């Protein structure tokens, strides 16, 4: 029999997972103080994931455990770049369901919690609350605080402002900033050769035409540089410029990225990868090893949005 164990944290937790290697063949595993995940093949034919979890009560931690379970459920054969892309697609779908079913509507939950707290406050003015009521009142008050922080965080991401610099945690403040920013940057019409275009489809075509022309090259031959330039030896090229990516180097690059930037087309920002690096790193390292060896990326993995940043308020022309 084989097993994996996680020690208890004080008097809480502690996990033990035992399996028969003749029945279950282990392919991959991941563990922390809250869960053990095994990925492998049962009875030489059936791919499966075994999960032993000591689930935390915090919503953020439960989300992380859910992401880890989904990540190991995907068994995609072939190149690591294809596997990585497939896992993110499945993870995005599962997290959307989790957000709807578990995370829920923050505004609705906050309204209900505030009404419950208000009822307890009115009752406390009339008489002294008993122990169970006092305990419940504290729990509701704590829930209201957490939901308000969660709502503030959502609007903070939309407003793209730094709380530390602004020194204001008022949700209404961030709501106003996000709305004002949207109104200021909106492009509801463009002027092309003194002609005003308001149709959304026509605007899209004009934007595409303008930037296609802007980013295309017009010269027949490319300019060349001549002169006596210093060169480096082939050994230096192989040791420095063409060296393989190490796990520490990859993690350092990811860790130094701002986690709160706008997510890409896949819906994930760097904060997701930073927090889930423990179980994602194997796929990322394998993907970069294959890229270093072959120099090829799977179609769509390097897609990105082009953001049009206005130079002035209320832009009316694509040059603005």
pLDDT tens per residue, range 45-69? 777 878 777 765 555 566 677 777 7
Give the whole-angstrom CA distance, residue 188 versus residue 282.
Answer: 45
Residue 271 inside a domain? The answer is no
Give the whole-angstrom CA distance, residue 244 versus residue 267.
Answer: 29
Residues 97 and 112 both lie in one domain = no
What pLDDT does 124 receive?
83
Q: In what order do the strands lie in the sheet with 35-42?
A: 24-31, 35-42, 46-53
Neighbours of 288 (CB within 10 A): 19
Give the whole-angstrom CA distance, residue 51 versus residue 69.
Answer: 7
Residues 112 and 47 both lie in one domain = no
Residue that terminates a domain, selected from 58, 73, 102: 102
- Give the residue from 245, 273, 246 showing the smallest Cα distance to 258: 273
Residues 82 and 167 both lie in one domain = no
What pLDDT does 114 receive?
86
Residue 295 inside a domain? The answer is no
Residues 158 and 204 both lie in one domain = no
Residues 175 and 193 both lie in one domain = no
Residue labelled with tokens 């164990």: 5
Residue 245 inside a domain? The answer is no
- Give the residue from 279, 276, 275, 285 showing the smallest Cα distance to 248: 285
Q: Print the domain residue range for 174.
A: 106-185
Give the whole-angstrom CA distance, residue 138 versus residue 150.
Answer: 18
Give the whole-angstrom CA distance, residue 84 versus residue 162.
Answer: 32
Residue 232 inside a domain? The answer is no
What pLDDT does 134 receive?
83
Residue that terminates a domain, selected from 102, 128, 144: 102
Residue that terminates a domain, selected from 135, 164, 185: 185
Neighbours of 61 (CB within 10 A): 12
Residues 9 and 81 both lie in one domain = yes
Residues 149 and 199 both lie in one domain = no
Residue 79 inside a domain? The answer is yes
Residues 43 and 82 both lie in one domain = yes
Q: Supply 265's token pair.
A: 């087309």
What pLDDT does 274 receive?
86
Residues 84 and 13 both lie in one domain = yes
The list of the chain residues with pLDDT below 50 reads 161-169
Neighbours of 115 (CB within 10 A): 10
Torsion from C-alpha of 123, 125, 131, 132, nearest 10 degrees: 20
Residue 227 inside a domain? The answer is no
Residues 46 and 121 both lie in one domain = no
Residue 120 inside a domain? The answer is yes
Give the whole-angstrom CA distance, residue 155 versus residue 171.
Answer: 7
Neighbours of 307 (CB within 10 A): 7
Neighbours of 10 (CB within 10 A): 6
Residues 54 and 114 both lie in one domain = no
Q: What is the tally of structural domains in the chain?
A: 3
CA distances from 36 to 5, 17, 63, 72, 273 (A): 8, 7, 15, 11, 20
Residues 88 and 171 both lie in one domain = no
Residue 119 inside a domain? The answer is yes
CA distances from 277 to 169, 250, 319 (A): 30, 11, 41
**Which residues of the chain form beta strands (DSSP E)?**
2-9, 12-19, 24-31, 35-42, 46-53, 190-192, 195-197
């Amino acid at each position: 029999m084989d097993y994996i164990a996680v020690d208890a944290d004080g008097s809480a937790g502690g996990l033990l997972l035992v399996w028969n290697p003749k029945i279950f063949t282990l392919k991959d595993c991941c563990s922390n103080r809250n869960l053990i995940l095994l990925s492998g093949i049962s009875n030489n034919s059936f791919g499966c994931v075994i999960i032993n979890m000591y689930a935390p009560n915090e919503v953020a931690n439960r989300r992380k455990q859910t992401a880890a379970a989904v990540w190991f459920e995907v068994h995609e054969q072939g190149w690591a770049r294809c596997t990585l892309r497939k896992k993110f697609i499945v993870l995005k779908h599962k997290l959307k369901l989790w957000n709807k079913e578990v995370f829920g509507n923050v505004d609705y939950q906050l309204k209900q919690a505030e009404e419950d707290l208000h009822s307890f406050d009115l009752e406390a003015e009339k008489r002294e609350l008993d122990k169970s009521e006092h305990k419940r009142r504290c729990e509701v008050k704590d829930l209201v605080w957490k939901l308000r922080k969660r709502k503030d965080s959502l609007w903070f991401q939309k407003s793209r402002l730094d709380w530390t610099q602004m020194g204001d945690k008022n949700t209404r403040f961030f709501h106003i900033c996000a709305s004002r920013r949207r109104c200021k940057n909106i492009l509801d019409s463009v002027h092309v050769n003194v002609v005003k275009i308001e149709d959304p489809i026509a605007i899209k075509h004009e934007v595409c035409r303008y930037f296609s022309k802007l980013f295309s090259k017009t010269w027949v031959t490319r300019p060349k540089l001549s002169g006596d330039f210093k060169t480096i030896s082939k050994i230096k090229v192989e040791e420095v410029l063409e060296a393989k990516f190490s796990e520490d180097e990859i993690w350092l690059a990811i860790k130094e990225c701002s986690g709160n930037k706008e997510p890409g087309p896949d819906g994930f920002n760097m904060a997701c990868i930073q927090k889930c690096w423990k179980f994602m790193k194997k796929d990322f390292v394998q993907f970069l090893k294959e890229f270093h060896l072959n120099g090829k990326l799977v179609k769509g993995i390097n897609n990105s949005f082009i953001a049009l940043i206005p130079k002035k308020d209320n832009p009316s022309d694509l040059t603005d």
